């Protein structure tokens, strides 16, 4: 199985901050990397697929980059509704696997 | 707008079989040539892909669960289902259904299944 490792596990930030979350794969996954946002008690929501393609309806302050083994999710200006847990997921080879999550908390 | 909704018992006894159904509304489960999947999340933990089914019935399972998992589809009811046999406390989780193969969107709201006697 491909292991996905996110960093940091949690971070504290303020509204308006630029936030960056990193995801590393245990082997090259080309650009087969997705990002999800999950709020407490809710299902995950797809934000970005294939590393950098914004899902329809997702605000443009979210962006993704990377290829191979290293990937980044960036929130350009953190909004109150963005405090949540973010997960990466590799879609290169089944079984599909997720990172352990990064919790974005209020500073 | 496509919507998914999980249903099934919230409590299952150890060694028994967990059974859940996902009902798809706002679209046909067989018209879009999509995959349909199950993902679970133990309380306070991360996400684990369980398996997926193509509308035609082809299935793909996570090897870690393959011996205990069955996913099936009922196109006449616009539903697909999950069975996990011989459950233990480690199977306690919120179970989500979702559309997709390489990425999952949309998701159902999730249903908590607790394994306890």
Q: What is the model's pLDDT at position A87?
A: 98
Res. A45: pLDDT tops 90: yes
* Token reading at B5: 């909704």
For B65, which residue in chain A has the nearest alpha carbon? A95
Which of the pair, A61 or B31, is modelled with greater confidence? A61
For B89-108, write each residue's pLDDT tens digit.
999 999 999 999 999 999 99
Residue A27: is its pLDDT beyond 90?
Answer: yes
Closest of B76, B31, B29, B77 to residue B53, by C-alpha: B29
Q: What is the pLDDT at residue B32? A: 64
Closest CA to B52 of B33, B38, B70, B73: B38
Helices and strands per DSSP (H, E), number in chain B: 0, 10
Find tokens 């971070």 and name the residue. Answer: A11
Residue with token string 């930030």? A13
Alpha-carbon distance A43 to B39, whole Å?
10
B89 by DSSP, 3-state: which? Answer: helix
Taking residue A101's Cβ as centre, other Cβ atoms within 10 Å add up to 21
Please tell me the distance in Å from B20's CA to the nearest CA on chain A.
17
Q: What is the pLDDT of residues A87-103, one digit of tens each?
A: 999 999 999 999 999 99
Within a 10 A sphere around the Cβ of A54, how many other Cβ atoms?
15
Note whether A49 contacts B109, CB cutoff 8 Å. Answer: no
Q: Is pLDDT above 80 for A72?
A: yes
For position A59, what pLDDT does the model report? 98
Q: Which residue of B has its CA nearest to A92?
A: B102
Query: What pLDDT shows up at residue B57?
Result: 87
CA distance A12 to B96: 28
Q: Do A94 and B60 touch (CB under 8 A)?
A: yes
| pLDDT tens readout for residues B3-55 | 999 999 999 999 999 999 999 999 999 876 789 999 999 999 999 999 999 98
- Chain A residue with minimal CA distance to B47? A98
Q: Which residues of A touch B109 (CB under 8 A)?
A: 42-43
Question: Smallest Cα–Cα separation from A3: which of A32, A25, A21?
Answer: A25
What residues in B contact A6, CB-CB < 8 Å? none
């Amino acid at each position: 199985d491909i292991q996905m490792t996110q960093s940091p596990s949690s971070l504290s930030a303020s509204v308006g901050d630029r936030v960056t979350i990193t995801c590393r794969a245990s082997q090259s996954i080309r650009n087969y990397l997705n990002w999800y946002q999950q709020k407490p008690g809710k299902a995950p929501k797809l934000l970005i697929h294939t590393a950098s393609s914004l899902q329809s309806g997702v605000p443009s302050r979210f962006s993704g980059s990377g290829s191979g083994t290293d990937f980044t999710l960036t929130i350009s200006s953190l909004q109150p509704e963005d405090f949540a847990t973010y997960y990466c997921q590799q879609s290169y080879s089944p079984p599909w696997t997720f990172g352990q999550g990064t919790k974005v908390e209020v500073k | 707008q496509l919507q998914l909704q999980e249903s099934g018992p919230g409590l299952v006894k150890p060694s028994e079989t967990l059974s859940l159904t996902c009902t798809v509304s706002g679209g046909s489960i067989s018209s879009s040539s999509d995959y349909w999947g199950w993902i679970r999340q133990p309380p306070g933990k991360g996400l684990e892909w369980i398996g997926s089914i193509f509308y035609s019935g082809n299935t793909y399972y996570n090897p870690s669960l393959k011996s205990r998992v069955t996913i099936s589809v009922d196109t006449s009811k616009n539903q697909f289902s999950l069975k996990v046999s011989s459950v233990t406390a480690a199977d306690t989780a919120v179970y989500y259904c979702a559309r997709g193969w390489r990425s999952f969107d949309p998701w159902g709201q999730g249903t908590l299944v607790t394994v306890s006697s």
